[in-house]
A and B are shown apart, each in its own frame.
Chain A
Amino acid sequence: METMRLYLRVMKLSILQQVTYRTALLAGLATNFFFGLLRAAVLLALFQVQPVVNGMTQAEGLTFVAFSQALIAFLFIFGTYDVMNTVYTGSIGADLARPMDLFFYWMARDFGASLVNLVIRGVVLVAVFSVFYPVVMPATIGQWGVGLVSLLLGWGVNYAFRFLVNLTAFWTPDARGIGRAAYTMLMMFSGFLMPMRLYPDWFSRLVALTPFPSTFNTPMEIFMGLLKGPEVIPALITQVGWLVALWLLARVVLRRGLSKLVIQGG
């Protein structure tokens, strides 16, 4: 009970902290919006050649662009390096001297920041975008609900993946390089750059075997109604499966890492 209260409080502090970065939030919003316009222009060119691509219409393509740009900051698509930085600066020592679990502590911190990003960068971006383009919103409350559940599951899978990437700092002095490679994979295989449906069939089948589509592609397809009715169930089960697997893995790796950790400096 107290543990829950602790991590909720951490989340609250993270929200407070995130809103103090007003300028950064607005600059981020502007950047996401600008690149959204650019991506929309590319997609419009594509759809002029062919009105329906792999079952996606032009409006759906534009909706995809709007939502993906809106969720960049919520899902930290470009990755995070916070935990590895605490390893390299040695400030992880101060965190470990506190009775808390690093995995849940950083989860609460990240989630607080994500919520602020979702509201300020996400909602505003979709709203403005839909003034310029025909963005298709989920039609029913049910679709919204399932979409949100899927988005939360996706966030969890994505968090565990980022946490694992950060943990490599326990073993190598150059975890940043690993991070850049890993986050490039995340960007490509999660369906953020392009919906998985637009990739060649063999490629999307291959990528479907990885956890990446569960972070982003699955909630997007549910929001856009590309996955409907009974199709949603296996998609959600896959997400839960990856969530459990990556969480367990992250916890095992964290324990192994801490047992051999060398706190730098001092």
Chain B
Amino acid sequence: MTAIISVRDLRKTFRVLVRRPGLGGSIANLFAPHYRSVQAVEGVSFSLQAGELVGYLGPNGAGKSTTIKVLTGLLVPTGGEVRVDGQVPWEKRERYVKGIGVVFGNRPTLWWDLPVIDSLELLQPMYDIPAERFRYNLVEFKRMLELDEFINTPVRSLSLGQRMRADLCAALLHEPKLLFLDEPTIGLDVVAKEQIRRFVLDINHRRGVTVLLTTHDLTDVERLCERVMILDHGKLLYDGTLAALNGRFESAWTLKVDFEEEYPDVSVAGLPAPQRVGRQALYLFNHRELNTAELVQQLMARFQVVDLEVRRPPLEETIRRIYAEQLLTK
């Protein structure tokens, strides 16, 4: 199987004007501008197989958007090789973008003062979509995204969630093989986020659309992606399954136990003393060294246990530790 996206040693350097302060500085800037190079992406390589749904994570300024812009043909990289579906994105841009769908979470792409349907219908001649195909897709997406309630409303009057649903529809009517989502759930409420996620999963499963998604919302990642790539300071730190990431970097799990009575000493050898509130105790344990079953068996053998609950740290916590402690660069 060949990769639908292959990126090798991608580099992008921006020249940023360094502004000197004061009037003298302004004049100096005018005649002898002083530039500083900023490496947004430094030698990133990865590939995506057709049908994958991959999360692209990283803190602000990590180089995620730069990568997406290169992949969507908006930016010419400083170096490296990029092939998407056999094409180089920034050469012959118009032909290339016909085969992809793009949603920028923070940028509206629809005509602001006109009803949603007007913007959607413009796409038919734009992408040369056969009329019947276009009708069929429109009906299907209208149903899946529940567009009917606002399809005749001007875009400026839509809520953010409604606009995002309309944008998703506009990115997919021409049946692209590839969908790039740049923070699709940014600023949305829980219900709207969930609706977007269900839709993305559905078009990935049923239509086989390959999806590359950047987000800061890790629930998006947990709900959608088996595979994640983590970028920081322009370098790819991790590329693999979410399960393996958790296996390696998750911090201590918590076991919550309710005892029948208040025992004087419930500590377990090899573990830090549990936090206790009345008959309840919280044990922190490293799941890589001690498996949950063993710990539970030990406790059940010694005490009367009423209730047990294992809690894993949220993905946020794991990712935060990866960035903060630079676990992946070591």
Contacts and interface: CB of A to CB of B under 8 A. Distances in A.
B120 to A, nearest CB: 11
Contact of A16 (B97, B104, B114, B126): B114
Interface stretch (B71-79, B269-277, B282-290, B316-324): B71-79
Contacts of A96: 73-74, 93, 97
Given A2-B125, A10-B122, A17-B113, 16 more contacts: A6-B125, A9-B121, A9-B122, A13-B114, A20-B113, A94-B104, A96-B73, A97-B73, A97-B104, A98-B97, A100-B126, A259-B76, A261-B74, A266-B65, A266-B104, A266-B182
Nearest to A258: B93
Interface string B1-45: 000000000000010000000000000000000000000000000
Interface in B235-290: none
A258 B94 CA distance: 12
A119 interface: no
Contact of A5 (B106, B125, B182): B125
Given A13-B114, A17-B111, A266-B104, A97 B122 contact: no
A90 interface: yes
Contact of A263 (B74, B97, B98, B122): B74
B309 interface: no
A27 to B, nearest CB: 17
Nearest to B64: A266
Contact of A13 (B75, B95, B102, B118): B118
B216 to A, nearest CB: 13
Nearest to B12: A262
Contacts of A17: 111, 113-114
A241 B102 CA distance: 40
Contacts of A98: 97, 109, 126
A91 interface: yes
A2 B98 CA distance: 14
Interface string A67-101: 00000000000000000000000110110111111
21 contacts: A9-B125, A10-B122, A13-B114, A13-B119, A16-B118, A17-B111, A20-B113, A20-B114, A91-B108, A94-B102, A94-B108, A97-B104, A98-B97, A98-B109, A99-B95, A99-B127, A101-B94, A258-B93, A261-B75, A262-B75, A266-B104
B263 to A, nearest CB: 56
Interface residues of B, number: 34
Interface in B176-195: 182
Interface of B: 14, 65, 69, 72-76, 90, 93-95, 97-98, 100, 102, 104, 106-109, 111, 113-114, 118-119, 121-122, 125-128, 154, 182
Contacts of B104: 93-94, 97, 266
Contact of B122 (A13, A91, A258, A266): A13
Given A13-B111, A91-B107, A99-B97, A6 B73 contact: no
Contact of B107 (A6, A16, A262, A266): A266
B106 A266 contact: yes
Interface in A1-38: 2-3, 5-6, 9-10, 13, 16-17, 20-21
A262 B127 CA distance: 25
A94 B127 contact: no
B125 A99 contact: no
A258 B121 CA distance: 27
Contacts of A99: 94-95, 97-98, 126-127
Nearest to B110: A94
Contacts of A9: 121-122, 125
Given A2-B125, A262-B14, A100 B94 contact: yes
Contacts of B122: 6, 9-10, 13
Contacts of B107: 90-91, 93-94, 266
